[in-house]
Amino acid sequence: MDRSLYIAMSGAKQNMMAQSIHTHNLANATTVGFRADFEQARSMPVYGATHPVRVYAMTENPGTKFTPGGLISTGADLDVAIKGDGWIVVQDTDGQESYTRAGDLRLTSTGQLLTGAGFPVMGNGGPVIIPPFEKLEIGIDGTISIRAAGQSPSVLAEVNRIKLVNPDLAGLEKIPNGLFRNKDQTVAPLSDDVQLISGYLEDSNVNPVHSLTKILTLARQFDIQVKLMKEAKQNDAAAARLMHVTFS
């Protein structure tokens, strides 16, 4: 009885963990630049002093889906999307360089360039600071050019360049704030091959239909695991009654 109960209990627990992964994906189906997390389950033997005669279910997050999302046209000067492979470098809350595909940029009152989530965008030598301007353009290579107040419409001055990198995807990991970082904590070098498209944003790569279907499937599996636990309890009670009758 204890074997079936343990298997059902661990299965129900892992179903809940798997649901949380897909629920998080579904909640970010419209988040700019979001990358969906994968989920998989497998049986894991319980090792100990004796032979591993018991197994339990284990849910894993084997990685992240790096397939690009669709492009959304906004026409805004501060909205950018990466064409193909590559990442925008930002400064995370720990002060380290991390990577994002979210190009919904904005300026603070002091001219600092931030992502929509509030992370400073990195440029030449540190976070990007832009002086007052009348017009701003972001080039295909991340170059930021402005027309200062009172200048001729044809006069654009380059003030900084967004740092763009293209690290090996196999070496990336997602950190809790949704950004990405190299697993070995190294800093990726500037890449001249990464290109930006101004006036566009990259949508999330979450498939809402797939995520919702998985959530419903996992919910049914959870119900089955709970029923198995109830059956194990009933079998235990029946065995106890049989033993009582036999030895009374």
* pLDDT tens string 182-222: 999 999 999 999 999 999 999 999 999 999 999 999 999 88
Domain check: are 79 and 173 in the same one? yes
Residues 144-156, mean pLDDT to the nearest whole number = 82
- Per DSSP, 234 falls in state H
With 0-12 / 13-18 / 19 or more C-beta atoms within 10 angstroms meaning exposed / middle / buried, residue 43 is exposed
244 pLDDT band, cuts 50/70/90, is low
Q: Do 10 and 108 belong together in one domain?
A: no
What's the half-sphere exposure (Cβ side, CA atoms, 13 Å) at 243? Answer: 6
Same domain for 157 and 54, yes or no, is no
76 and 176 in a single domain? The answer is yes
Instruction: Tell me if 202 sits within 8 A of 33, measured CB to CB.
Output: yes
Q: Which of 202, 222, 238 is the last residue of a domain?
A: 202
Residues found in the chain = 248
146 shares a domain with 237: no
Domain count, the chain: 2
Domain that holds residue 237: 2-66+206-247
41: β partners: 59
Question: Residue 243, SS3?
Answer: helix
Residue 80 sits in the same domain as residue 187 = yes
- At residue 105, does pLDDT exceed 70? yes
